[in-house]
């Protein structure tokens, strides 16, 4: 594909984190941009690898300094994509992969019209809910909120995204994504 900026978005419980970990090992000419967030790290997450974990004041300073290509508030926390990283990767003639929510995806498409938007969907809503419950890090209220939000996200994925993949089999999904991004 000629596109050099790819956006991957997926509602909670679709397997996005697992997909990205496996995809990282297979991509040769693509770099995944690490997002900034004000949320607390989950068990096993590492600063600078999974996210850059920063305080609200620092994040708001970065907004004022126009450090982000896009930023959003999701589930009460700030998330932002560093503009400098996108530019650095493109300058090095590599593909950029952004793993961000649909709000961010639409903002990136507006700013970079060549961006190719890819949505990941669960095999079913029941499976999506089961995956969220298995994680064991969310309250019943959070699960309901995320399931409700995922309806809106699916609408955006179907209306505005270039393609959508259903994550039934993790290995097949990873391979299809690799082919879309690197040919």
Three-state helix/strand/coil letters over 86-125: HHHHHHCCCEEEEECCHHHHHHHHHHCCCCEEEEEECCCH
Q: How many domains does the structure of the chain reveal?
A: 1
- Indicate if the pLDDT at residue 165 is higher than 90: yes
- Indicate if the pLDDT at residue 137 is higher than 80: no
Q: What are the tens digits of pLDDT across the range 45-92?
A: 999 999 999 999 999 999 999 999 999 998 899 999 999 999 999 999
Residues 167 and 173 sit within 8 Å (Cβ to Cβ): yes
Across all residues in the chain, what is the average pLDDT?
92
Q: What are phi and psi of 11, to 5 degrees?
A: -65, 160
Percentage of the chain modeled with pLDDT above 70: 98
Higher confidence at residue 145 or residue 179? 179
* pLDDT score at 176: 96
Structural domain containing residue 133: 5-182
- For residue 4, give every residue at least 6 positions away whose Cβ sits within 8 Å of its Cβ, in sequence order, or none: 90, 94, 95, 96, 114
Paired tokens of 112: 């970079």
Percentage of the chain modeled with pLDDT above 90: 73
- For residue 117, give every residue at least 6 positions away whose Cβ sits within 8 Å of its Cβ, in sequence order, or none: 6, 7, 9, 105, 108, 109, 160, 161, 162, 163
CATH number at residue 167: 3.40.50.300
Residue 98 and residue 155: Cα distance in Å, rounded? 20
- Residue 138 — very low, low, confident or very high, per pLDDT cuts 50/70/90? confident
Residues 34 and 49 sit within 8 Å (Cβ to Cβ): yes
Paired tokens of 152: 């809106």
Paired tokens of 10: 């997926």
Q: What are the tens digits of pLDDT across the range 115-126?
A: 999 999 998 888
- Residue 1 — very low, low, confident or very high, per pLDDT cuts 50/70/90? very low
* pLDDT score at 139: 86
């Amino acid at each position: 594909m000629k596109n050099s900026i790819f956006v991957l978005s997926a509602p909670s419980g679709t397997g996005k984190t697992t997909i990205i970990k496996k995809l990282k090992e297979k991509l040769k000419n693509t770099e995944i941009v690490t997002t900034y967030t004000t949320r607390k790290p989950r068990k096993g997450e590492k600063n600078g690898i999974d996210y850059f974990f920063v305080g609200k004041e620092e994040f708001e300073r970065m907004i004022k300094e126009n450090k982000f290509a896009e930023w959003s508030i999701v589930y009460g926390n700030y998330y932002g994509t560093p503009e400098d990283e996108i530019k650095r990767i493109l300058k090095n003639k590599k593909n950029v992969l952004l793993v961000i929510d649909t709000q961010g995806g639409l903002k990136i498409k507006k700013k970079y019209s060549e961006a190719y938007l890819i949505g990941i969907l669960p095999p079913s809503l029941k499976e999506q809910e089961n995956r969220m419950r298995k994680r064991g890090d969310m309250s019943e209220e959070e699960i309901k909120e995320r399931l409700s939000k995922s309806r809106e996200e699916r609408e955006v994925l179907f209306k505005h995204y270039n393609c959508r993949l259903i994550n039934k089999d993790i290995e097949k999904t990873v391979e299809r994504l690799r082919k879309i991004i690197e040919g």
